[in-house]
Structure 1
Amino acid sequence: MCRYGLTMEPPSPTPLPPQLVDGIRARLDAQDVVGVQIGWVDDNGIVRSRVVPTDQLAGAAHRGVGITAVFAVFDSHDGITFAHEGLSTPSGDVRLVPVIDSVDSVVPLAGQPGLAWVNGRQVAVDGSPWPYDQRAVLERQVSAAAEAGFEVKAGFEVEVVLSHDREDGEVAGAHRGPAYSANAVQDLSGFTRTLLTDLRANGVGIGQLHAEYGASQVEIALDALDPLAACDAQVLARQSIHAAARAHGLRASLAPITTTDGAGNGWHLHTSLWRDGHNALTASEGDGGPHGLSAVGAAYLAGLHRELHGIVAVTAPSTGSLLRRRPHFWAGVYDVWGVENREAALRLVPGGGLLGADHTNVELKPSDASANPYLALATVIGAGLAGVRDGASLDEPVQEDVGGWDDARRSAAGIRALATTHEEQRANLLASDVVREVLGDDLLGAFVACRDADAAWAVEHTDEEIVASLRWVY
Structure 2
Amino acid sequence: MTPPVAAPQPPDAASLVARLEGLGVLGVSIGWVDNNGIVRSRVVPLEQLPSALTRGVGITAAFGVFDSHDGITFAHEGLATPSGDVRLVPVVEDLDSIVALAGQPGLAWVPGRQLTADGDPWPYDQRAVLERQVAAAAEAGFEVRAGFEVEMVLTHDTDDGGWHPARRGPAYSANAVLDVHDLVETLLRDLRDNGVRVGQLHAEYGEAQLELSLDVADALTMADAQVLTRQTVHAAARAHGLRASFAPLASTTGAGNGWHLHTSLVDAATGRNALTGDPAAGGDEHGLSPVGRGYLAGLLRELPGVTAVTAPSTGSLLRRRPGYWAGAYGFWGVENREAALRLVPASRLLGSEVTNVELKACDASANPYLALAVTIAAGLAGVRDGLEPPAPVQEDVGTWDGARREAAGIRPLATSFEQQQADLLGSDLVREVLGAELLGAFAACRAADAAWAADRGVEDVVASLRWQY
TM-score, normalization: structure 1? 0.97
Structure 1 residue aligned with 2:382: 387
Whether the 8 Å contact between 1:13 and 1:97 is mirrored in structure 2 is no
**Equivalent residue, structure 1, for 2:437:** 442
Secondary structure of the residue that 1:162 maps to in structure 2?
A: strand
Q: Which residue of 2 aligns with 1:353?
A: 348
**Aligned residue among 274, 279, 282 for 1:280:** 274
Partner of 2:217, secondary structure, is coil
AA aligned opposite 2:95: V
Q: In 1, are the aligned partners of 2:11 and 2:93 still within 8 Å (CA)?
A: no
Other-structure match for 2:456: 461
Q: 1:320 aligns with which of 295, 312, 315?
A: 315
Aligned match of 1:470 = 465
Is the 1:66–1:95 Cα contact (8 Å) retained in structure 2?
yes
Identity of aligned pairs, percent? 69
Distance 1:468 1:257, change over 3 A: same
Q: Could you tell me which residue of structure 2 aligns to residue 31 of structure 1?
A: 23
Unaligned runs of 5+ in 2: none
1:104 matches 2:99: no
Question: Match for 1:154 among 146, 152, 155?
Answer: 146
Report the CA distance between 1:30 and its aligned residue. Answer: 1.8
TM-fit CA distance, 1:100: 0.4
Residue deviations 1:412-432 (CA, integer Å, cap 9, x gap): 211100000000000011111
Distance 2:74 2:310 in 1: 23
Hey, what's the Cα distance between the residues in 2 that align with 1:116 and 1:169? 31
Following the alignment from structure 2 to structure 1, what is the Cα–Cα distance between the partners of residues 144 and 326?
Answer: 24
For 1:168 and 1:396, locate their aligned partners in 2 and report how far apart those are by CA, in whole Å: 53
Q: Which amino acid aligns with 1:270?
A: H
The answer to whether 1:404 aligns with 2:392 is no
Aligned residue in 1 for 2:199: 207
Q: Assess, with a 3 A threshold, how the Cα gap between structure 1 residues 167 and 119 changes in structure 2: closer, same or farther.
A: farther
Q: Which amino acid aligns with 1:243?
A: A
Q: Report what 2:324 is aligned to.
A: 329
Give the Cα separation in 2 of the matches to 1:99 and 1:153. Answer: 20
Mapped to 1, the partners of 2:182 and 2:362 lie a distance apart of 29
2:49 aligned with 1:57: yes
Residue 48, structure 1, aligned to residue 40, structure 2: yes
Q: Deviations over 1:154-204 (max 9, x none)?
A: 000000000012355534111102100000011011000000000011000
C-alpha separation in 1, matches of 2:285 and 2:386: 14
2:14–2:50 contact (8 Å) kept in structure 1: no
1:254 to 243, 246, 249: 246
**Conserved? CA contact 2:11–2:92, under 8 Å:** no
Measure the CA separation in 2 of the matches of 1:324 and 1:313. 13
Aligned to 1:221: 213
Among 416, 430, 443, which residue is 2:411 paired with?
416
CA positional deviation for 1:10 = 3.7
Alignment CA distance shift 1:159-1:168 (3 Å):
farther
User: Shift in Å at residue 290 of structure 1?
Assistant: 3.8
Q: Which moved more, 1:455-464 or 1:286-295?
A: 286-295
Query: Alignment partner of 1:252: what SS?
Result: strand
Q: Tell me by how many angstroms 1:26 deviates.
A: 2.6
Q: CA deviation at 1:129?
A: 0.4
The residue identity in structure 2 corresponding to 1:212 is E
TM-score by length of 2: 0.98
In the alignment, what sits opposite 1:231? 223
Task: Write the deviation string for residues 105-155 of structure 1: whole angstroms up to 9, x where unpaired.
Answer: 100001111000000000000000000000000000000000101100000
Q: Cα offset for 1:17?
A: 4.1
Q: Distance in 2 between matches of 1:128 and 1:303?
A: 32
RMSD: 1.1
Match of 1:371 in 2: 366
Once the two structures are superposed, what CA deviation does each residue of 1:193-216 show, in whole Å capped at 9, x if it has no partner?
000000011000011000000000
1:291 partner SS: coil
Cα distance in 1, alignment partners of residues 288 and 222 from structure 2: 24
Gap regions ≥5 residues in structure 1: none
Counterpart in 1 of 2:262?
270
State the alpha-carbon separation in 2 of the partners of residues 12 and 154 from structure 1: 22
Distance in 1 between the 2:157 and 2:238 partners?
9
